[in-house]
A and B are shown apart, each in its own frame.
Chain A
């Protein structure tokens, strides 16, 4: 990277940080100087107002506008009623998109959480535990686009027999005497190969949270179970799992939401070709590449409706937990 050419970005970053610092400083100053009378009320207002304002500008208004646009045509010049929604559920291409999203949201949380949990249990109190954990956690530090590029190479294909395979997976296939395969070409299996990337990234997240939860199980419970003569299998199902239930829910819910919104991996690896597109990609393509704002908005609204129950569930279980305490 040429530092000189990237310099403007760093300057922008610094300016942004400086402005943020100034705003926060000014806010603190004002709240501190607020009239003694109703001091607390001023404080609440002062701290809440910026957040509420930003939420309104960045979330509430766009959400309403998107819903509004989803009932209009491509260039938002006429009302089309529910046309965009009927289009969504009648086009085979879009149905593929919805099917893929379903596959993603069913498999990724399940696989990532399972892998993370099994790994967390296996390395718990093992030698070199922190090293083993950081290895799995490492992919979390890689951006989705970066991970997409890495895995695109893993799946890379060279069909010629004497050509050198540049893809790790195909090289392994060739070593075992197989024919190289085009992993990303054939639906619906290609979606599975794509979501493995997401599992690879998210398993680390699941592992860290669950590992911490496992460590928080009081030692006396485990000791008591041991004295009662449980084996490792029973210990896991009857002690460990119930004890970390709330963490497990948090992990599954967060990964589910992240998965519903997945965009970068698909875009980097296949660009949504070969029937691998998911809702976020379909939305982007329709709204920004094809100029079909109405259809794009309808997909966005649908995505929002899908995420909503999960969010509500999480908020409720959080409140439930707090009340329980």
Chain B
């Protein structure tokens, strides 16, 4: 028995050691590329140097190809400064960041896609205010509005990074040419065109708001975009900051204006069915019928460009393109709904601040833009470095002095509303709930 036991124990030990060795062998494949830090091409990074051998961790929502491009964009910075950037992208970031921070496992930097989420960590005192250098760099590169979205309680926390323009209507230039449609430049023209198409027997608009647990967000974008047009930026700000109640008649007016398209059986939902099919059509699929000529108009952000199948030419003379979602009253400027990420810091080590400063710089924006599919409101971004026509158009709109940009409202509201009852309320609204009931319910859910 003893012999047997000993034999078995040896077996356990041997297999355990074997496993450990396999694991260790797999781990030892790390490589370090060492660029010459004094070379001419590293001259641009001189100011960030002096933190050789350090690591900065970043946690963000950006994944896959987009994440690879980000890593490529800061590779040179990494090589020249010796700061290793450990990037982690996760689709669960918005929920997991809280868990990681609570668990004492916060990343050094996080790219917050919503100012509201960032504010949660400002309030709990976990986020570090941006250091002077970052503040100065950001002030140089971003407009006051953007600096405002990265601030909380008068203090500046997160420098903006990427941006996107949400006020776009996607269309097919080919179809427009064939049918002789003109790109509408006013609200009335837009409704006129919709009526013209509806009269020809096809529904003009297609939409999809299904997005898993985030279902409803494209509908809230509609409301925000129209709120900005129907009521103007000042009322918009009051609404977002809850200075007017969510069920205010002004909000109801904007929601009803959105309903004149979204809940109009004559206008929607091209190729998917009736109004209610909007609720179960995924946001990714929402605009695709444009390619088959089954749908003419689809309001969605610039980043929808990534949803078209491979080989689709996204350009003014291509298969699909987008025009600016026209203003209701053009004399009040050009309202644009925007969104983007902000770089928040949970650590204040010098190397973390160096990365923060670099990410806020025009150098980074240009380095990233050159790799394609990237828009930033960074004023130092040279539009010639931007690759796609739709991104170019976005950058032009962002830099246009007549633009009145407002950040996506649901992203600024408390998460219980902006990522909860507002999404849900608008989904119910599409699904048949009347405007008043939907807005009353959202108002009731606003955290006291």
CB <8 Å contact, B9 and A32: yes
A304 within 8 A of partner (CB) = no
Q: How far is the CB of A164 from chain B (nearest CB, A)?
A: 11
| A12-20, A35-43, A225-233, A312-320 - interface stretch | A12-20
* Contact status B20-A159, CB under 8 Å: no
Q: If the complex has contacts A158-B272, A182-B277, A288-B99, are A267 and B213 also in contact, measured as CB distance less than 8 A?
A: yes
Most chain A CB neighbours (cut-off 10 Å) among B123, B280, B427: B280
- Binary contact track B255-296/A, C-beta < 8 Å → 1, others 0: 000000000000001011110110110000000000000100
Q: Find the B residue at minimum CB distance from A290.
A: B416
* Closest B residue to A271 using CB positions: B213
Select the stretch in A21-29, A202-210, A212-220 that faces chain B.
A21-29
Given the complex of chains A and B, what is the CA–CA distance between A285 and B17 in angstroms?
43
B: number of interface residues (CB 8 Å): 47
Q: Is residue B27 contacting chain A, with contact meaning CB distance below 8 A?
A: yes
Across the interface, which residues of A come within 8 angstroms of B272, CB to CB? 158-160, 163
B388 to chain A, nearest CB (A): 26
| B195 CB within 8 Å of chain A | no
A21 touches B19 (CB 8 A): yes
Cα distance, A7 to B419, chains bound together (Å): 34
- Return chain A residues, CB-CB under 8 Å to B215: 270-271, 273
Q: Which residue of A lies closest to B273 (CB)?
A: A159
Contact A274 B23 (CB under 8 A): no
- State whether the Cβ of B424 lies closer than 8 Å to any Cβ in chain A: yes
Assess the B23–A159 pair: CB atoms within 8 A. no
Write the chain B residue with the least CB distance to A10. B26
Within 8 A of B (CB), among A23-69: 24-25, 28-29, 32
Nearest chain A residue, comparing its CB with the CB of B19:
A18
A19 to B13, CA, bound (A): 11
Residues of A within 8 A of B16 (CB): 18, 21-22, 24-25
Question: Which residue of B has the minimal Cβ distance to A186?
Answer: B431
Query: Nearest-CB distance from B162 to chain A (Å)?
Result: 22
Q: Does B396 contact A (CB under 8 A)?
A: no
| Closest Cβ neighbor of A288 among chain B residues | B95
Within 8 A of A (CB), among B28-52: none
Closest-by-CB residue of A relative to B417 is: A290
Closest chain A residue to B211, Cβ basis:
A271
* Residue A126 at the chain B interface, CB threshold 8 Å: no
Contact assessment for B279 and A274 in the assembled complex, using a CB-CB cutoff below 8 Å = yes
Cα–Cα, bound, A74→B120 (Å): 11
How many A residues have CB within 8 A of the partner chain? Answer: 41
User: Taking the complex as formed, is B415 at the interface, i.e. its CB lies under 8 A from any CB of chain A?
Assistant: yes
Residue B104 is within 8 A (CB to CB) of chain A in the complex? no
CB of B232 to closest CB in A, whole Å: 30
Closest CB of chain B to A57's CB: distance in Å?
13
Q: State the CA gap A75–B172 with chains docked (Å).
A: 48
Query: Across the interface, do A75 and B213 meet the contact criterion of CB distance under 8 Å?
Result: no
Which interface residue of A21, A22, A273 has the most chain B CB atoms within 10 A? Answer: A273
Q: Is the CB of A21 within 8 A of B279?
A: no
**A201 adjacent to chain B (CB < 8 Å):** no
A290 and B19 form a contact (CB under 8 A): no
In whole angstroms, what is the CA distance A270 to B216 when docked? 11
Q: Mark A67-78, 1 if CB is under 8 A from B, else 0.
A: 000000011000
- In the complex, residue of chain A having the shortest beta-carbon distance to the beta carbon of B424: A273
Q: Is A11 an interface residue (CB 8 A)?
A: yes
8 Å CB contact of A74 from B5, B20, B96, B447: B447
Instruction: State whether B276 touches A182 (Cβ < 8 A).
Output: yes
A288 to B419, CA, bound (A): 11
Nearest-CB distance from B21 to chain A (Å)?
8
| A284, chain B: closest CB distance, angstroms | 8
Counting CB contacts under 8 A, is A254 at the interface?
A: no
Which of B98, B269, B274 makes the CB contact (< 8 A) with A291?
B98
**Is A185 interfacial (CB 8 A cutoff)?**
yes
* Chain A positions within 8 Å of B216 at CB level: 273
**Could you say which of B13, B123, B280, B419 contacts A157, with CB atoms under 8 Å apart?**
B280
Distance to closest chain B CB from A261 (angstroms) = 17
Enumerate chain A residues within 8 angstroms of B427, measured Cβ to Cβ. 273-274
B415 close to A290 (CB less than 8 A): yes
B12 touches A28 (CB 8 A): yes
A177 to B415, CA, bound (A): 45
Q: Are A21 and B23 in contact (CB under 8 A)?
A: no
Tell me which of B22, B214, B269, B414 contacts A18 (CB under 8 A).
B22
Q: Does any Cβ of A come within 8 Å of B184's Cβ?
A: no
Q: Is B380 an interface residue (CB 8 A)?
A: no
A247: interface (CB < 8 Å): no
Contact B213 A272 (CB under 8 A): yes
Residue A114 is within 8 A (CB to CB) of chain B in the complex: no
Q: Chain A residues near B419: list those with CB within 8 A.
A: 289-290
| Interface presence of B124 (CB below 8 A) | yes
Q: Give the docked Cα–Cα distance between A15 and B447 (Å).
A: 45
Q: Given contacts A182-B276, A291-B120, are A29 and B9 in contact (CB under 8 A)?
A: yes
Residue of A nearest to B203 (CB): A160
B90 part of interface (Cβ distance < 8 Å)? no
User: A292 interface residue, CB < 8 Å from B?
Assistant: yes
- Report Cα–Cα, A93/B424, bound state, in Å: 10
| Contact present for A267 and B420 (CB under 8 Å) | no
**Other-chain contact of B420, A160, A274, A290 (Cβ < 8 Å):** A290
Beta-carbon contact of B276 and A75 below 8 Å: no
Q: Is the CB of B214 within 8 A of A271?
A: yes
C-beta contact mask, B177-220 vs A, less than 8 Å → 1, else 0? 00000000000000000000000000000000011111110000
Contact of A185 among B23, B99, B214, B280 (CB under 8 A): B280
Within 8 A of A (CB), among B343-384: none
A-B contact pairs, 25 of them (CB 8 A): A10-B26, A11-B26, A14-B22, A14-B26, A15-B23, A18-B16, A21-B20, A25-B13, A29-B13, A32-B9, A74-B447, A158-B273, A159-B269, A159-B277, A160-B273, A184-B280, A185-B276, A271-B214, A273-B279, A288-B95, A288-B99, A289-B415, A289-B419, A291-B98, A291-B415
Residues of A bordering B, CB below 8 Å? 7, 10-11, 14-15, 17-19, 21-22, 24-25, 28-29, 32, 74-75, 93, 157-160, 163, 180, 182, 184-185, 267-268, 270-274, 284-285, 288-292
Closest 5 pairs (CB-CB, A-B): A159-B273, A21-B16, A271-B213, A18-B19, A18-B20
Known: A182-B280, A288-B98. 10 other contacts (CB 8 A): A10-B26, A11-B23, A25-B13, A93-B424, A160-B273, A273-B213, A288-B95, A288-B96, A291-B98, A291-B120
